[in-house]
Amino acid sequence: MSGVPVVAIDGPSGSGKGTVCRVLATRLGWHLLDSGALYRLTALAGRRAGLGPEDRTGHAALAGRMAVVFGVAPDGGERITLDGQDVTALVRAEETGQGASKVAAWPEVRTALMGRQRAFAEPPGLIADGRDMGTVVFTEAPLKIFLTASAEERALRRYKQLKDKDSAVSLAALSREIAERDLRDSTRSVAPLRPASDAFVIDSTGVAVEAIVGRVIELGRMRALWR
Ligand code: C5P
């Protein structure tokens, strides 16, 4: 691969990897790949184009050609545009996560997104957040982490993230949706969610973000990725 160092951080929804990855990328001054957002954007682009949910080749074509920009909003938060339109809130909706997990099960879509994901590996380094960063997309990554947390804690974290944006969200419904998504993500035939054989598995249940970040920094030092 490119020779650019990659830290692959995989895990199920709500395991805290998004936050951990953002903090790490900022602290190290490395690039960040939010691969889940690309699957979410593919689902959104499909919906916008009026594609049927089973249209694999149509979704794969959109995955390859959609114009995506990951930027920063005036308030410092994230801003994501799809073909020139701001879709930040839509991308993060739980419904979009469900749609993403459906299109993500198709090999055609995964292949179409491969080059786009690898292109994020630019100097000085990349923090890659996803489900198959260590097992498929960046198999040569010198540091792989698999972040987990109990199902209850993951649902609660997602609930806290979503309830400010969507007052209709319910913890019970969210727990059910996350369980469905986990099952689909870990039982699909291509790139199922599982730790790479050389990944460090870290359980973040009851552990603060800062402590997880500290552990990853320590592991990166052991691997001579930084000082
Ligand atoms: O991480 P996030 O919740 O944004 O991911 C949305 C969905 O995209 C996941 O449930 C999963 O099905 C899919 N995904 C994937 N491979 C990745 C990242 C996300 O299949 N590397």
Q: What is the pLDDT along the chain (227 residues), one digit of tens a residue?
A: 579 999 999 999 999 999 999 999 999 999 999 999 999 999 999 999 999 989 999 999 999 999 999 999 999 999 999 999 999 999 999 899 999 999 999 999 999 999 999 999 999 999 999 999 999 999 999 999 999 999 999 999 999 988 887 778 899 999 999 999 999 999 999 999 999 999 999 999 999 999 999 999 999 999 999 99
CATH classification at residue 170: 3.40.50.300
Which residue has the least CA distance to atom 14 on ligand 1? Answer: 36
Hey, what's the torsion of the CAs at 208, 198, 144, 142, to 10 degrees?
Answer: 140
- Which phi and psi angles does 143 have, rounded to 5°? -140, 125
Cα angle: 37, vertex 43, 48; to 5 degrees: 120
Judge whether 218 lies within some domain. no
For residue 37, which atom of ligand 1 is closest to its CA? 4
End-to-end CA distance of the chain: 23
Judge whether 222 lies within some domain. no
Which residue has the least CA distance to atom 5 on ligand 1? Answer: 36
Residue 174 CA to ligand 1 centre (angstroms) = 16
Judge whether 87 lies within some domain. yes
- Owner of token pair 């870290």: 202
3-state percent helix, strand, coil for the chain, nearest multiple of 5: 50, 15, 35
Judge whether 76 lies within some domain. yes
For residue 39, which atom of ligand 1 is closest to its CA? 8
The rounded distance, in Å, linking the Cα atoms of 101 and 106 is 9
Cα 90 from chain centroid (whole Å)? 15
Range(s) of the domain holding residue 167 = 6-213
Domain count, the chain: 1
For residue 117, which atom of ligand 1 is closest to its CA? 21
Cα 152 from chain centroid (whole Å)? 20
Judge whether 226 lies within some domain. no
Judge whether 1 lies within some domain. no
Judge whether 219 lies within some domain. no
- Which phi and psi angles does 189 have, rounded to 5°? -80, -30
Contact residues of ligand 1, CB 6 A cut-off: 13, 35-37, 39-40, 97, 100-101, 104, 130-132, 181, 185
**Nearest of 14, 160, 20 to residue 97 by alpha carbon:** 14
For residue 132, which atom of ligand 1 is closest to its CA? 21
Judge whether 106 lies within some domain. yes
